[in-house]
Amino acid sequence: MSLTSRLKSMVKQAMTPQPKPLTEFEYATLPWIDKKDADIDSFVKRYQRGQNFPYDLADKLRFWQQNGYVILEKAIQEEWVDQLWNEVEELIAHHERYRTNVRIDRPEYAAQPVKEAKDVPTEVLDGPYIKIMDFHDNSVMGKKIMLHNSIVTFLEAVFSDRVVAMQSLLFKYGSQQATHQDFAYVVSENPSHLAAAWIALEDVHIDSGPLFYFPGSHKLRKFDFGNTGMFYSGESKHNPTDFARYLEKVCQEAGLKRETLLIKKGDVLLWHASLAHGGDAIRNPALTRKSYVCHYSSLKAYQHHRQAPTSEPIRRSMNGADVFANPQMPDQEDIFK
């Protein structure tokens, strides 16, 4: 393209009105349960799959609708949790064998916080400020827990659509992450079709930096990052600290209480795209807080892997839900059988 045509095209783009970034979910595409006329009793009568759900589905859906979360006690069998954690320990101990991405939130890694496990020493991987990313790509057990029948049955009810898992994070220590709502960071093709699971891989100790959350905060007005609306990007005018301050202020104004998640190994917290939450301060650095966080969307809202938005994904299906194979590391898929 010549310089003149490039300039012309830049001027044309600058003069074309850009769509205003979203500052609220579109009402028409909200999950049915977030709409004003949601009729939970008739939904439950029609929802065949809910009949084998080992909790009272109508009660859990009502609780979700009001509070933006539910807890499924003893959802995941201990042996599964133990197997997953043994695999994580193997990854940490023999990091040189694995290409799993790891995020290191330590000042010495600030220039490049995401690296492959093989390039991060065991002492660093084994410490705090580490997020092991998308380990489910590598692990069949990671996929089995992510797509566990109880999680999928509940989220399929919430979306009234097939569930598709989007991504996962594994933590050995508390994240100490500031208050946030996930839709700002984890974006599907329909941002309101998003939910998450926090799976306890050990009993949570109050001094280990537990997750905290504000029940009812999923109904509050969204934060506006300025130029990028309700989504955060490196270009946003406002930053995650402004986001946290806003959420804490509006939760306080609305009289919402801050709760601390003290659940047991194998229990699962499921939360709404807009539930305000974060990681508490670690009061005893010797304590671990092993946990597995998975994010989900629906078939209609997540049709392509985020790293290959124009290719048809390779679906791995379990319990009537899907997760896409990692398009960038096919050699690392299911290396932990």
Q: Which residues bind ligand AKG (CB under 6 A)?
A: 169, 171, 174-175, 177, 182, 211, 277-279, 291, 293
How far apart (Å, rounded) are the C-alpha atoms in residues 167 and 209?
A: 22
Closer residue to ligand AKG (CB): 43 or 185: 185
How far apart (Å, rounded) are the C-alpha atoms in residues 198 and 278?
A: 12
Q: How near is the Cβ of 93 to ligand AKG at its closest, in Å? A: 23
Question: DSSP labels for 224-269?
Answer: --STTTTS--TT-SS-HHHHHHHHHHHHHHTTPPPEE----TT-EE
Closer residue to ligand AKG (CB): 150 or 208: 208
How far apart (Å, rounded) are the C-alpha atoms in residues 333 and 137?
A: 5
Q: How near is the Cβ of 38 to ligand AKG at its closest, in Å? A: 25
Closer residue to ligand AKG (CB): 71 or 314: 71
Return the structure tokens found at 107. Answer: 């000042």
Q: Looking at the chain, list the stretches that DSSP marks H as alpha helix, in order from N- to C-terminal side.
A: 3-15, 40-46, 57-67, 78-93, 122-125, 140-146, 149-159, 240-253
DSSP 24: S
Q: How near is the Cβ of 208 to ligand AKG at its closest, in Å? A: 10
How far apart (Å, rounded) are the C-alpha atoms in residues 98 and 100?
A: 6
SS3 207: helix
Angle at 302 between CA 300 and CA 308, to 5 degrees: 140
Closer residue to ligand AKG (CB): 141 or 166: 166
Q: How near is the Cβ of 132 to ligand AKG at its closest, in Å? A: 12
Closer residue to ligand AKG (CB): 175 or 326: 175
Q: How near is the Cβ of 209 to ligand AKG at its closest, in Å? A: 7
Q: How near is the Cβ of 337 to ligand AKG at its closest, in Å? A: 27
Closer residue to ligand AKG (CB): 50 or 274: 274
Amino acid letter for position 1: M
How far apart (Å, rounded) are the C-alpha atoms in residues 295 and 307?
A: 15
Closer residue to ligand AKG (CB): 40 or 194: 194
CB-nearest residue to ligand AKG:
279
Q: How near is the Cβ of 124 to ligand AKG at its closest, in Å? A: 19
